[in-house]
Chains A and B, each alone.
Chain A
Amino acid sequence: MVDPLLRVEKLVRRFGGVLATDNLSLDVLPGELHAIIGPNGAGKTTLISQLTGQLTPNSGAIHFAGRDITRLPSYRRSRLGLARSFQITSLLPDFTAADNVALAAQAHDGHSFRFWGAARREKHLREAAQAALNRVGLARRGDVPVSELSHGEQRELELAVALATRPQMLLLDEPMAGLGATESARMVALLKELRQEVTIVLVEHDMEAVFALADRITVLVYGRVIASGAPDAIKSNEEVRRAYLGEQHAVTSHG
Chain B
Amino acid sequence: MKLQINVRNVVVALVALGLLLLPLYSAATGNIFILTLFTRIVIFALAAASLNLIMGYGGMMSFGHAAYLGIGGYAVGILAFEGIGSGFIQWPVALAASALYALVIGALSLRTRGVYFIMITLAFAQMAYYVASGLSRYGGDDGLTIYRRSTFGGLIDLSNRVQFYYLCLFCLFGGVYLIWRIVNSRFGMVVQGIRSNEQRMQAIGYHANRYRLVCFVISGTICGLAGALLANNTDFVSPAGMYWTRSGELMVMVVFGGMGSLFGPVIGTILFLLLEELLSQFTEYWALVMGPLLLLIVLFARGGIMGLLGRVGRG
Contact = CB atoms under 8 A, between A and B. Distances in A.
Interface of A: 52-54, 73-75, 78-79, 83-84, 86, 90-95, 99, 103-104, 106-108, 112-120, 122, 161-162, 164-165
Contact of B185 (A79, A86, A115): A115
Nearest to B181: A116
B203 A54 contact: yes
A103 B203 CA distance: 11
Interface string B253-294: 000000000000000000000000000000000000000000
Is chain A's interface secondary structure helix, strand, loop, or mixed overall? Answer: loop
A14 to B, nearest CB: 21
B211 to A, nearest CB: 7
A118 B184 contact: yes
A156 to B, nearest CB: 16
B241 interface: no
A87 to B, nearest CB: 13
A131 to B, nearest CB: 16
B184 A92 contact: no
B184 A83 contact: no
Contacts of A86: 200, 203
Interface of B: 1, 181-182, 184-190, 192-193, 196-197, 199-208, 211, 214
A118 B204 CA distance: 20
A112 B211 contact: yes
B239 to A, nearest CB: 33
A52 to B, nearest CB: 6
Q: Which of B196, B201, B205, B207 has the most CB of A within 10 A?
A: B205
A84 B181 CA distance: 32
B54 to A, nearest CB: 15
B187 A112 contact: yes
A117 B183 CA distance: 10
Given A103-B189, A112-B190, A79 B184 contact: no
A115 B222 CA distance: 15
A112 B196 contact: no
B197 A106 contact: no
Q: Which of B189, B204, B205 has the most CB of A within 10 A?
A: B204
Contacts of B206: 75, 107, 112
Given A112-B211, A118-B184, A99 B205 contact: no
Contact of A103 (B1, B204, B214): B204
A75 B199 CA distance: 10
A114 B191 CA distance: 12
Nearest to B200: A90
Given A75-B202, A112-B211, A94 B185 contact: no
